Amino acid sequence: MRGGSGVVLPWRCGFPTSNCCARSHRRGWGGGGGAKAASAANVPVSTIAFGTDEGEVEIYGMMQPVPVDRQALGTLAELTGGRFYQAASQDELRRVYEDIGSSIGHRTTPREVWAWSVGAGLLFALAAAGLSLLWTSRMP
């Protein structure tokens, strides 16, 4: 998408559970190529830090820390012209999505489809007449 259209991408990297952007930031990639491509295409990427600094998940019987990397998510949003949000609970996350939904619009464009329907009907009638001629050697 171009021209300021926004994109919301919930994303997560595999094992252990962590944010891809956070990994990129820790490795010194500074938001990675995705942020640069989004910025060049004028596509703002809004990020959501969902969770707490003490977050943990159980993987193969071991507790793994999965803190939110607010700095990396904020950097990604800043590099692309998007907004950075924080949510620690489901209610806060719902409010963030409502805010994002109110700022991202859509446009409904009416289209006439009757011509396609009439054309398909005529093609069907011609095919039926042709098959009738082949089968019985006369028109219905």
Q: What is the pLDDT of residue 63?
A: 93
Mean pLDDT, all residues of the chain: 76
Calculate the CA dihedral of residues 24, 57, 94, 12 and round it to 10 degrees: 30
Residue 37 reports pLDDT greater than 80: yes
Alpha-carbon span 111 to 99, nearest angstrom: 30
State which amino acid sits at residue 29.
Answer: W
Of 3-12, 42-51, 85-94, 130-139, the least confident:
3-12
CB count, 10 Å around CB of 48? 20
Burial class of residue 47 (count of CB atoms within 10 Å of its CB; 0-12, 13-18, 19+): buried
Radius of gyration of the chain (CA): 26
Residue 80 main-chain phi, psi, to 5 deg: -100, -5
What's this model's pTM, rounded to 2 decimal places? Answer: 0.51
Domain limits, the chain: 20-103, 110-140
Place of tokens 């949510």: 87
Q: What is the pLDDT of residue 33?
A: 72
- 77-134: per-residue pLDDT in tens? 898 888 899 988 889 999 988 888 777 767 788 888 889 899 999 999 999 988 888 8
Of the options 3.40.50.410, 3.90.226.30, 3.40.640.10, 3.40.50.970, the CATH number for the domain spanning 20-103: 3.40.50.410
H/E element holding 45? none
Helices 32-40 & 70-80, crossing angle to 10 degrees?
A: 20
Strand, helix or coil for residue 91: helix
